[in-house]
Amino acid sequence: MRVFGIDPGSLRTGYGCIDSDGSCHRLVVCGAIATRGCETFADRLVAIHRELVALIAVHAPAVVAVENLFHAANVRSALKLGHARGVALLAAAGQGVPIAEYTPAEIKRAVVGYGRAEKHQVQEMVRLLLGLPAVPEPNDAADALAVAICHVHMSVPAEVAAARAATAKGPASRALTSWRNYRPPGDPR
């Protein structure tokens, strides 16, 4: 399954596309659409929409997963983020691609195993799950990949998840299932 994840923002919108069979994930592309602060807000939204439409068309995902708005520092920030989310939803819907939305807590729980995980923990798990040598840059791209991974983990049928858990053996199989089991290289624990 090919999943395209979006982490919306009015100045920088992260995107990440993965291929997954439900247990193994492979990076297809990731990055961020950066807009200039000197542009009008409407022009920034047009640029985000145009880029997302082109990326979705090129990579032809089965589904687009978008981070859902949950709160912002102030009303003005929430409104701008809401507009950017709307543009992302429109880009996917306009291409006829199904859309899934996840809250930040759902994303953290699906990727790290803990809904209140910190940003660096999520980014490190993204790196581990995709087998990358470094955390994807910029941070918005790593966040968008986390949204895509969340969708895969949330859409795995219960019987597949149960079978996977039953066949898992030893600490190596637990290493990628929860941040709590992660140990940096060289850690003797």
pLDDT tens for each residue of 13-39: 999 999 999 889 999 999 999 998 889
Separation CA 15–CA 17 (nearest Å): 7
Separation CA 79–CA 116 (nearest Å): 24
Candidates 3.30.420.10, 3.40.47.10, 3.30.70.1350, 3.40.50.920; CATH matching 2-181: 3.30.420.10
- Which residues are tagged catalytic? 7, 67, 140
Three-state DSSP at 13 gives: strand
% residues pLDDT > 70 (the chain): 80
Q: How many other CB atoms sit within 10 Å of the CB of residue 24?
A: 11
Average model confidence (pLDDT) across the chain:
87
Cα-Cα-Cα-Cα torsion 96, 98, 7, 61, nearest 10 degrees, comes to -70
Helix 41-59 with 75-94: angle, nearest 10 deg: 40
Which pLDDT belongs to residue 173?
Answer: 46
Separation CA 7–CA 98 (nearest Å): 16
Could you tell me the two tokens for 148? Answer: 């895509």
Q: For residues 140-150, b (16+ Cβ closer than 10 Å) or e, as one string? A: bbbbbbbbbbb
Who has greater pLDDT, 186 or 12? Answer: 12
Who has greater pLDDT, 52 or 182? Answer: 52
